[in-house]
Amino acid sequence: MRDDSLYKHPYPSPQLAKDYPYIELEFQRLTPDQMQAAADDFYARMDKRRSVRMLSDEPVPRQLIETAVSAASTAPSGAHQQPWRFVAIADPEIKRQIRVAAEEEERTNYLENRMNEEWQSALAPLGTDHHKEFLEIAPWIVVLFEERYRLSDDGTKGHNYYVKEGCGIAAGLFITALHTMGLTTLTHTPSPMAFLTKLLGRPANERPFVLFPIGYPLEGVLVPDIKRKDLSEVLTVVGDVPEELS
């Protein structure tokens, strides 16, 4: 039984619990040592994740992609609307069309200076260019579309809330799932990527958010020797920390 005594305004209120279904949270309490060990393991594993630009053509079973999407779709979202749609492509001809269209856009970005100098110099250490061969070689491409608004079969529109936030979290969970299952990907945003809506036959309420080529890394592949920011550069603690939390 829940002990509400800390709260003057318990959630759900008795009325809310009458009006809507609620269930007790399933939660596994860990010991402090287990918690730190889990955190250390997870961090160590995630710190090994790298964006990979040369994937192999080795097949990846569909089931793995489906499970990764299921995991991604556990992301929290505004009003629990889950405003995302993952579109998976293994069809060589469609992958080829995506590559051709993406390279066309990127040619303008890189060779006709659609990206300004500041942008191009920020990318210099990554050495990206308009060649996107991985789009054809990777066994899978998954495009995450944001569902900008809801569209019923009869054409009625409905508002979706915090779509970008939800999709960003879903994308994070997706790459985490892929990494955990021993696959690799690149969070790729061919720019502009409106061509994907048409090419993949998606409805007007969906907009491409990010594209993921997915597969195994090509044996011996090189990745940029980048360092991640130190904790002190990404974490600021404001105010006093009570003794028992230190």
Residue numbers of the site for ligand IYR (CB under 6 A)?
A: 106, 109, 123, 126, 128, 188-191
Of residues 83 and 145, the one with the C-beta less far from ligand IYR: 145
Quote the least distance from Cβ 217 to ligand IYR, whole Å. Answer: 18
Give DSSP secondary structure letters for 187-221: -B--SS-THHHHHTT--TTEEEEEEEEEEPBPTT-
Quote the least distance from Cβ 209 to ligand IYR, whole Å. Answer: 14
Gap between the Cα atoms of 42 and 184, Å rounded:
17
Amino acid identity for residue 30 in this structure: L
Quote the least distance from Cβ 112 to ligand IYR, whole Å. Answer: 13
Of residues 30 and 126, the one with the C-beta less far from ligand IYR: 126
Do 132 and 106 contact (CB within 8 A), yes or no? yes
Of residues 183 and 193, the one with the C-beta less far from ligand IYR: 193
**Cα-Cα-Cα-Cα dihedral sign, residues 106, 111, 115, 118:** positive
Q: DSSP state, 55?
A: B
Quote the least distance from Cβ 191 to ligand IYR, whole Å. Answer: 4
Quote the least distance from Cβ 192 to ligand IYR, whole Å. Answer: 9
Quote the least distance from Cβ 130 to ligand IYR, whole Å. Answer: 7
Of residues 106 and 147, the one with the C-beta less far from ligand IYR: 106
Quote the least distance from Cβ 211 to ligand IYR, whole Å. Answer: 9
Of residues 77 and 199, the one with the C-beta less far from ligand IYR: 199
Q: At what angle do helices 163-180 and 32-46 cross, to 10 degrees?
A: 90
Gap between the Cα atoms of 112 and 226, Å rounded:
28
Instruction: Categorise residue 121: left if φ over 0, alpha if ψ from -120 to 50, beta otherwise.
Output: alpha
Of residues 36 and 191, the one with the C-beta less far from ligand IYR: 191
Do 243 and 216 contact (CB within 8 A), yes or no? no
Of residues 99 and 188, the one with the C-beta less far from ligand IYR: 188
Q: At what angle do helices 62-72 and 163-180 cross, to 10 degrees?
A: 140
In the sheet that holds 140-147, the strands lie side by side as 84-89, 140-147, 206-215, 184-185
